[in-house]
Amino acid sequence: SQKIEQNSEALNIQEGKTATLTCNYTNYSPAYLQWYRQDPGRGPVFLLLIRENEKEKRKERLKVTFDTTLKQSLFHITASQPADSATYLCALDNLDANKLIFGTGTLLAVQP
């Protein structure tokens, strides 16, 4: 069966450390993978997109890797801040590039 798995337990880290979130998928062959941030009571906000032929993408303190052999994406936030605390969702396309399938998200809590 098809699955997208993200750490179901909350990730607690200390301010200034690097947060690493994992997204694993099974029985999908995505052309690209996206990461979104969601704050309580709000809609998801797009952060980064990485294509299947890209190994790594960076944007300011964010870095995403995409390993199609391992079927895994890693999302890193360097020099984390309490303001980075949120739920982070990964999403991938399912044959139709317009149809995003979302993971259930990982709650990140950055302690001051």
Partner 1 sequence: DARVTQTPRHKVTEMGQEVTMRCQPILGHNTVFWYRQTMMQGLELLAYFRNRAPLDDSGMPKDRFSAEMPDATLATLKIQPSEPRDSAVYFCASGFSRGADTYEQYFGPGTRLTVT
Give contact residues for partner 1 (rule: CB under 8 A). Answer: 32, 34, 41-46, 49, 89, 96-105
Minimum distance, C-beta of residue 63 to partner 1, in the bound complex (Å): 18
CB nearer to partner 1: pick between 69 and 98: 98
| Cα gap 71→21, rounded to integer Å | 14
Residue 84: partners with Cβ closer than 8 Å, 6 or more residues away: 19, 77, 108, 110
CB nearer to partner 1: pick between 41 and 112: 41
CB nearer to partner 1: pick between 44 and 110: 44
CB nearer to partner 1: pick between 38 and 72: 38
Minimum distance, C-beta of residue 87 to partner 1, in the bound complex (Å): 10
82 phi and psi angles, rounded to 5 deg: -55, -30
In terms of DSSP bridges, do strands 32-38 and 45-51 run parallel, antiparallel, or are they unpaired?
antiparallel
Minimum distance, C-beta of residue 98 to partner 1, in the bound complex (Å): 5
Amino acid at 30: P
Minimum distance, C-beta of residue 2 to partner 1, in the bound complex (Å): 13
| Cα gap 48→39, rounded to integer Å | 16
